[in-house]
Amino acid sequence: MYVWHGYRRVRLRVGSIVRRALVPGVCVAAAFVGWCWLVRRVVPGGRWSWFAAQVAAALAGYVVIAGTILVPRADRARVWRRLGLARAEAPREGGSP
């Protein structure tokens, strides 16, 4: 439905829609499935505390996976700077102060 709407209303090419919207989503989903499988194999189950650890590990993995694939590089850099985990950019020469 999304692809059809984009094609009909906005006159976007179907290949462009698939490449920009669907492929990254499928990649994130596949990587997250793999991550959850790995977490399930490594972190033992059987107790609520271990289940909570599995959920926390799965969510942390999702943040990394989705943040890497879905969030543009410039936005990631801005988040890192806001969190104080990256250097601020040096002022450009010739720009206004």
Answer whether residue 63 shows pLDDT above 60: yes
Q: Is the pTM of this model over 0.75?
A: no
Domain boundaries, the chain: 21-82
Answer whether residue 48 shows pLDDT above 90: yes
Which pLDDT belongs to residue 11? 73
The pLDDT tens digits of the residues spanning 67-86 come to 999 999 999 999 889 988 87
- Pick from 57, 20, 17, 19: which is nearest to 41 by CA? 57
Which distant-in-sequence residues (6+ apart) come within 8 Å of 36 by Cβ?
Answer: 58, 61
